[in-house]
Structure 1
Amino acid sequence: MSTSSSLPTVLAYPPFGAGDKYRGAVVEDLQLPPAFALPSDEAISRAIELAYERDFSQLPVLDGHRRPLGYIDVAALKQRWEAGEASPSDKVATYMTKFKRSRTQPYTLITPATPLAALEQFLQDKLFALVTDHGRKFVLAVVTRQDLDNFVTRRGQ
């Protein structure tokens, strides 16, 4: 992928000012737990078990080089399993939602240095964001709107 369309977009954000409820904080300030991700060939029975042990509702799915491919919606997967539409030995890749990357929908890079104001913009129409390193080689954490709300509450705003 050496074309310019495969380059990640960088989130624009307003400069820190009086109206910034995050006071210039970045993703790293959220102190998120390390991400838990699945290889694409993991069995769905194991994926559901691991998700419930950790109380995660979405799990990133990675390729053999640890790059994000998509995610599993754990509740939806469990429903399919209970309805007999999925076998416990099926691979998670069969049921994952693939990340959409194209010229019109480029990958948005979210790193520990991403300002929370920019993250809030990103999460306006998404359930969660993957926090990765700048090279997108490793998934470091998963962040949700609730994480942002908890951060503001902890700061007493």
Structure 2
Amino acid sequence: MAAASTASASQVNGSALPSQGDKYRGAVVEDLQLPPAFALPSDEAISRAIESAYERDFSYIPVLDRHRKPLGYLDVAALKEKWEAGQAAPDDRVIIHLTKFNRSSSHPYTIITPSTSLPELEEFLRHNVFAIVTDYSRKFVLGVATQQDLDNFVSRRG
């Protein structure tokens, strides 16, 4: 667990300020009310990927293998740059342009589920641009969470 989530209230000028973990008031990823995930199969054409990303206003799209296991993701802005520079053809498959997840003993896979605490998600997002939210057995991609989702959650709660 992140150190921020275990911090206690601090005293500044005699008044208690909430710790970093308290700003979420015990909330979990499910409380973010993320839209349902949109993911692409690895053999999808990048023309469809770009079109789908703009329709949904997504910056990152998870890419799945034929068993629906996450392989990596498409960075839509980077893919668009490649397209405009002539480095990507409309019929290219997304697997050619995906960023693979770095899974190794030095970079263990972090599971983010609907019950993951928001301080844990925040700590994960300090080192990653987004988080893929999966079910508990990692068989289904449920959503994608970003720092903006956390910021919006805090601002909605006041």
- TM-score, normalised with respect to structure 1: 0.89
3-state SS, counterpart of residue 71 of structure 2: strand
- Cα distance in 2 between the residues matched to 1:132 and 1:31: 14
3-state SS, counterpart of residue 51 of structure 1: helix
- Equivalent residue number for residue 137 of structure 1: 139
1:61–1:47 distance in 2 versus 1, CA, 3 Å: same
3-state SS, counterpart of residue 24 of structure 2: coil
2:125 matched to 1:123? yes
* 2:106 corresponds to which of 71, 95, 104: 104
Which amino acid is 1:24 matched to? G
Q: Which runs of 5+ in 2 are unaligned?
A: 9-17
Q: Which runs of 5+ in 1 are unaligned?
A: 1-11
Larger RCO (CA under 8 A, 6+ residues apart)? 1
Deviations 1:102-148 (A, max 9, x none): 11111100000000011000001211000001111100000000000
Question: Is contact 1:77-1:95 (8 Å) kept?
Answer: yes
Which amino acid is 1:34 matched to? P
* 2:67 corresponds to which of 62, 65, 68: 65
| Residue-pair matches, total | 145
- Equivalent residue number for residue 85 of structure 2: 83
- Cα distance in 2 between the residues matched to 1:132 and 1:126: 16
- Cα distance in 2 between the residues matched to 1:16 and 1:65: 41
Question: Is contact 1:16-1:23 (8 Å) kept?
Answer: no
- Equivalent residue number for residue 30 of structure 2: 28
3-state SS, counterpart of residue 23 of structure 2: coil
- Cα distance in 2 between the residues matched to 1:143 and 1:130: 6
- The alignment-based identity, stated in percent, is 69
